[in-house]
Homo-oligomer: A and B are copies of this chain.
Amino acid sequence: MNFEQAWLDYKGKAVSTEVGEIKFICADVQDELIRNSVKELQAAVKAMTGKEPVLQADSFESKAEQQIESISLVIKEGVKAEGYRLLEKAGQIIVEASDSRGILYGTFALIRLIQAGETLRGLHITKEPAMPLRMLNHWDNMDGSIERGYSGESFFFENNEILVNDRTVTYARLASSVGINAVVINNVNVKDSATYLITDRYFDQLKAMSEIFAGYGIKLYLSLNYAAPVELNELDSADPLSEEVRAWWKKRMEIVFGAVPNLGGFLIKADSEGRPGPFTYGRTHADGANMLAEAAEPYGGLIIWRCFVYNCKQDWRDRKTDRARSGYDNFIGLDGTFRDNVILQIKNGPMDFQVREPVHPLFGGLKKTNQMLEVQIAQEYTGQQRHICYLIPMFRQVLKYRTYVQESNDTVEDIVSGRTFGQKNCGMAAVANTGNDENWTGHDMAAANLYGFGRLAFEPDLTAEAIAKEWIRVTYGVNKKAEEILLNMLMNSWPAYEKYTSPLGIGWMVNPSVHYGPNVDGYEYDRWGTYHRADHLGIGVDRSRVGTGYALLYNEPNASAYDDRERCPEELLLFFHHIPYTWKLKTGKTVIQHIYDTHFEGVETVDEMAAGFEKLKGILPDKVFERVMKRLSHQKEHAREWRDQVNSYFYRKSGIPDEKGREIW
């Protein structure tokens, strides 16, 4: 399967004029990460200038200072782990870091500057990653399929074997270049062959993969089957308090960590959507996680335990049970009971990656537990990489959200960066959007989410717009027209998608199982806890104190604001309240008119995007242009389908006509 280089395709890019002068790269290359940094620099400079800089390997530091027109990679105290400093001194560019990972990140940062056409003269930049863990979660199955994958099949697995090849290296380079330092390669729903990843059936290939990853500063993680001792037919139980089970895991961890160097630990989905877990034995999530953590601890292994636990067999008639509460209710009582090498991985919202959700109340709830934020760049509910939906603005909103868990340093970003509670094991994970498609992400524009996620986790102070601009430049070169049009498309895409899909935070309204395309009642009479409760007078779920009480799970002043329909942020109004169609929003529009208007507006924005993009014919590579244009055509049509179904549904239900008399069926 052919594959492209995405933003690491250095050829033919517009570059800083100074780069032509670079003749030497000075570095000690004992370390593989530094060797890889040198390789990247040589390749980049050669591709951009035609001349490959010469490597000055030994005692580079003293020589380098006399040398102009060179890039020096220098290990030196001063910045914290994984951080880097970029300096220019008398024609010499210096990448400083206190460890080789910092050198690598600094190198990629320097290449970005060159690609983006920034001047290197007077360079003086220091960057330290905000979050200790910057992770990708791949939901790849060992048969090669990808759960919620929209870019082809897996490049990690095929026919129950592990693939290690050129693509593995390019993947590691892409991930590392944006600061990713941890990768879970297999689906959190661990079944069949994947249960055997912790057995010698797969150790050779895992070792080979993990060594490639190590060269780019990436730790390999595996998703684990909680019931492995049973499903591997070795024990009758997976009870976390059983001595036999605990001993089994200790032995197993010794074997796995011994066989697979550079293994970071494990991700576990337990007691969730049918997956096994400690509940089977009447034990808690803490019992389960701690058992594994104790076994992994001697090897520095982390146990990342997902909080996506809820009743997936709810009766739709039941208005007391609230899926939104369940993550909180299941875990809040366990705060402080987890071992230090356990991290709870919490989705950005309490439901499941909808286009709009409130921030998960466990952020600001948990105080004595390591936490990781989970977002999804696989566009499961946001257009499945057939629609454009640049998600970095949403993620950034989540990170900047104040939890009021304390007076300051209380944002989600503060918590998962370790600033709030002084924790070291924390960070951010994204469910990956890659596959074996030539361009990695199906939709070329979806690569901005992959790129942006890494950049944001490293530097959350970057604006979504700055990240988008950077991605456009490093991917398509410096071209004003392309930049303007693509930036506009990316920045408008999430708002547009929100407008033409489900309104005001209510979510869902998709076809069940596939999660694509409009179906207003698709989940309304189902068992998944995902309802809109629309009747002929109004719509929304009452999660206030007189409803399910979910609003009160937040700290003040958030709780009171959410609880009060007058003060509730309007983009979440229907998430928190059942509201009449005739309710006046702050714009002066009624809810029903807002629904009609936004649905028409969303489609108009898509039409504008497509019209804008057409102007890039001949500017973007033909292949990219064709791929994106094809998807835009589909998006235009499909956005209309969304608009018409949603508007018709609410018109037929409410009987209230559109003030503007537009066609509604």
Contact = CB atoms under 8 A, between A and B. Distances in A.
Contact of A535 (B525, B537, B653): B653
Contacts of A316: 665
A140 interface: no
Interface stretch (A187-195, A474-482, A607-615, A644-652): A644-652
A645 B317 CA distance: 9
A210 B190 CA distance: 49
A648 B531 CA distance: 13
A534 interface: yes
Contacts of A317: 644, 665
A652 B534 contact: yes
Interface in A351-378: none
Interface string A505-524: 00000000000001111000
A355 B487 CA distance: 54
A651 B317 CA distance: 14
B525 A648 contact: yes
Interface string A533-552: 01111000000000000000
Contact of A652 (B519, B535, B645, B655): B535
A590 interface: no
A205 interface: no
A654 interface: yes
- In which size bucket is the chain A interface? 20 to 34
A534 B537 CA distance: 16
Contacts of A525: 518-519, 645, 648
Nearest to A644: B317
Contacts of A648: 525
Contact of A653 (B519, B536, B644, B665): B536
B644 A535 contact: no
A317 to B, nearest CB: 5
Contacts of A534: 652
Interface in A639-665: 644-645, 648-649, 651-655, 665
Contact of A536 (B519, B520, B652): B652
A450 B560 CA distance: 64
Nearest to A665: B317
A648 B318 CA distance: 13
A645 B644 CA distance: 24
Contacts of A655: 535-537
A654 B521 contact: no
A654 B653 CA distance: 8
A520 B654 CA distance: 17
A324 B265 CA distance: 61
A13 B535 CA distance: 57
Contact of A521 (B521, B651, B665): B521
Contacts of A535: 651-653, 655
A645 B522 CA distance: 12
A656 to B, nearest CB: 9
Nearest to A525: B645
A603 to B, nearest CB: 14
Contacts of A519: 521, 525
A641 to B, nearest CB: 8
A347 to B, nearest CB: 28
A644 B518 CA distance: 23
Contacts of A654: 536
Interface in A40-56: none
Nearest to A534: B652
A548 to B, nearest CB: 16
A521 B511 CA distance: 11
Pick the most buried of A648, A652, A654, A655: most chain B CB atoms within 10 A of its CB: A652
A648 B649 CA distance: 15
A332 to B, nearest CB: 30
Interface in A608-647: 644-645
Contacts of A649: 521
A665 B645 CA distance: 23
Contacts of A537: 655
Interface in A43-85: none
Pick the most buried of A317, A537, A645: most chain B CB atoms within 10 A of its CB: A317
Nearest to A652: B535
Contacts of A536: 536, 652-655
A317 B652 CA distance: 13
Interface in A2-45: none
Nearest to A535: B652
A409 to B, nearest CB: 45
A614 to B, nearest CB: 26
A525 B643 CA distance: 12
Contacts of A520: 521
A413 to B, nearest CB: 41
A69 to B, nearest CB: 65
Contacts of A645: 525
A534 B316 CA distance: 22
Contacts of A518: 525
Interface string A88-120: 000000000000000000000000000000000
A654 B537 CA distance: 10
A250 to B, nearest CB: 46
Lowest 8 A-B CB distances belong to which pairs?
A535-B652, A536-B655, A317-B665, A525-B645, A536-B536, A521-B521, A653-B653, A536-B653
Given A534-B652, A536-B536, A537-B655, 9 more contacts: A316-B665, A519-B521, A520-B521, A525-B645, A525-B648, A535-B651, A535-B655, A536-B654, A536-B655
Interface of A: 316-317, 518-521, 525, 534-537, 644-645, 648-649, 651-655, 665
24 contacts: A316-B665, A317-B644, A317-B665, A518-B525, A519-B521, A519-B525, A520-B521, A521-B521, A521-B649, A525-B645, A525-B648, A534-B652, A535-B651, A535-B652, A535-B653, A535-B655, A536-B536, A536-B652, A536-B653, A536-B654, A536-B655, A537-B655, A652-B653, A653-B653
